[in-house]
Structure 1
Amino acid sequence: MAFAEEETKTTAHLGMNLIDSYYDSEDGLAGWAPSGSCTLSAHAEDHQALPSLAATLAAATDDDSEDELQQQRARKPSGRCVLAAHRASDTDGLFRAISRAPRPKVTYRVAGWVGVGTAVEGSHAVHVEVRVDDGQRVGGGVAVVESGKWGEIKGSFRVDDDDELPRHAKVYVHGPPAGVDLKVMDLQVSAVNKIPRLRHLRKKADRVRKRDVVLKVNRRTDDDTTASVAGAHIQVIQVQNSVPIGTCITKAGMQNPAYVDFFAKHFDWAVLENELKWYYTEAVQGQVSYADADELIDFCDRHGKPVRGHCIFWAVENSVQPWVRALNADQLRAAVEARLRGLVSRYSGRFPHYEVNNEMLHGAFYTQRLGDDINAHMFRETARIDPAPALFVNDYNVESGNDPNATPEKYVALVTDLQRRGVPVGGIGVQGHVTHPVGDIVCDALDKLAVTGLPVWITELDVSAADESVRADDLEIVLREAYAHPAVEGIMLWGFMQGHMWRSHGQLVNTDGKYTQAGNMFAGLRREWTSHARGKVDGNGNFKFRGFHGTYQVLLTTPAGEVKKRTFDVNKGDAPLVLDMDF
Structure 2
Amino acid sequence: MFVYFALHSLSALASGSKWVGNIIAGSVPSNWDQYWNQVTAENGCKRGSVENSQGNYNWAECDVSANHATQKSIPFKYHNFVWGSQEPGFISGLAAAAQKTALDNYIKAAATHYPNPDFIDVVNEALHAPSSIRNAIGGDGSTGWDWIVYSFKAARAAFPSAKLLINEYGIINDASAVTRYVNIINILKEQNLIDGIGIQCHQFNVNDLAASTITSNLDTLAKTGLPIYPSELDINANSEAEQANIYKRVFPALYEHASVKGITLWGYITGSTWKDGTGIVESGGQERQALTWLKEYLSSH
Partner of 1:448: 220
Partner of 1:378: 151
Partner of 1:213: none
Select 1:274's aligned residue among 43, 63, 75: 43
Question: What CA distance in whole angstroms lies between the structure 1 residues aligned with 2:51 and 2:236?
Answer: 31
Question: What CA distance in whole angstroms lies between the structure 2 residues aligned with 1:325 and 1:525?
Answer: 48
SS of corresponding position for 1:513:
coil
Question: What CA distance in whole angstroms lies between the structure 2 residues aligned with 1:450 and 1:319?
Answer: 30
CA gap 1:354/1:412 in 2 versus in 1, 3 angstroms: same
Select 1:478's aligned residue among 241, 247, 250: 250
Conserved 8 A contact 1:507-1:519 = no
Conserved 8 A contact 2:172-2:201 = yes
Partner of 2:93: 326
Displacement of 1:423? 4.2
Partner of 1:61: none
CA gap 1:370/1:306 in 2 versus in 1, 3 angstroms: closer
Partner of 1:410: 180
SS of corresponding position for 2:56:
coil
Displacement of 1:466? 3.0
SS of corresponding position for 2:30:
helix
Question: What CA distance in whole angstroms lies between the structure 2 residues aligned with 1:247 and 1:296?
Answer: 10
Displacement of 1:412? 0.6
Question: What CA distance in whole angstroms lies between the structure 2 residues aligned with 1:472 and 1:308?
Answer: 27
Please tell me the residue identity of whatever aligns with 1:242. S
Conserved 8 A contact 1:248-1:495 = yes
Question: What CA distance in whole angstroms lies between the structure 1 residues aligned with 2:92 and 2:192?
Answer: 26
Partner of 2:170: 397
Please tell me the residue identity of whatever aligns with 1:270. V
Question: What CA distance in whole angstroms lies between the structure 2 residues aligned with 1:267 and 1:409?
Answer: 32
Conserved 8 A contact 1:312-1:343 = no
Conserved 8 A contact 1:276-1:293 = yes
Alignment of 1:300-339 (within 5 A): 300-314=69-83, 316=84, 318-339=85-106
Alignment of 1:185-264 (within 5 A): 240-252=15-27, 254=28, 259-261=29-31, 263-264=32-33
Q: Would you tell me which structure has more helix in proportion to its own residues? A: 2
SS of corresponding position for 1:319:
coil
Question: What CA distance in whole angstroms lies between the structure 2 residues aligned with 1:419 and 1:487?
Answer: 16
Question: What CA distance in whole angstroms lies between the structure 2 residues aligned with 1:325 and 1:442?
Answer: 38
Conserved 8 A contact 2:37-2:75 = yes
Larger Rg: 1
Displacement of 1:377? 1.8
1:342 aligns with 2:114: no
SS of corresponding position for 1:267:
coil
Conserved 8 A contact 1:272-1:310 = yes
SS of corresponding position for 1:388:
coil
Question: What CA distance in whole angstroms lies between the structure 1 residues aligned with 2:78 and 2:249?
Answer: 27
Question: What CA distance in whole angstroms lies between the structure 2 residues aligned with 1:331 and 1:475?
Answer: 46
Superposed CA offset, 1:176-213 (max 9, x none): xxxxxxxxxxxxxxxxxxxxxxxxxxxxxxxxxxxxxx
Partner of 1:157: none
Select 2:230's aligned residue among 458, 463, 473: 458
Select 2:267's aligned residue among 495, 509, 519: 495
Conserved 8 A contact 1:456-1:488 = yes
SS of corresponding position for 1:507:
coil
Alignment of 1:137-176 (within 5 A): none
Select 1:517's aligned residue among 265, 289, 298: 289
CA gap 1:354/1:500 in 2 versus in 1, 3 angstroms: same
Conserved 8 A contact 2:167-2:197 = yes
SS of corresponding position for 2:277:
coil
Displacement of 1:440? 0.6
Identity of aligned residues (%): 24
Conserved 8 A contact 2:40-2:65 = no
Conserved 8 A contact 1:507-1:518 = no
Question: What CA distance in whole angstroms lies between the structure 2 residues aligned with 1:240 and 1:528?
Answer: 9
Superposed CA offset, 1:392-442 (max 9, x none): 11100101138x6xx11111101112234x242100011111332210111
Select 1:438's aligned residue among 206, 210, 215: 210
Partner of 2:11: none
Select 2:279's aligned residue among 492, 502, 507: 507
Structure 2 regions of 5+ residues with no counterpart? 1-13, 140-145
Q: TM-score, normalised by structure 2?
A: 0.87
Conserved 8 A contact 1:366-1:375 = no
Question: What CA distance in whole angstroms lies between the structure 1 residues aligned with 2:236 and 2:103?
Answer: 35
SS of corresponding position for 2:164:
strand
Question: What CA distance in whole angstroms lies between the structure 1 residues aligned with 2:52 and 2:169?
Answer: 25
Conserved 8 A contact 2:178-2:220 = yes
Alignment of 1:20-39 (within 5 A): none
Question: What CA distance in whole angstroms lies between the structure 1 residues aligned with 2:238 and 2:278?
Answer: 8
SS of corresponding position for 2:195:
strand
SS of corresponding position for 2:270:
coil
Structure 1 regions of 5+ residues with no counterpart? 1-238, 530-583
Question: What CA distance in whole angstroms lies between the structure 2 residues aligned with 1:424 and 1:354?
Answer: 12
SS of corresponding position for 1:488:
coil
SS of corresponding position for 1:335:
helix
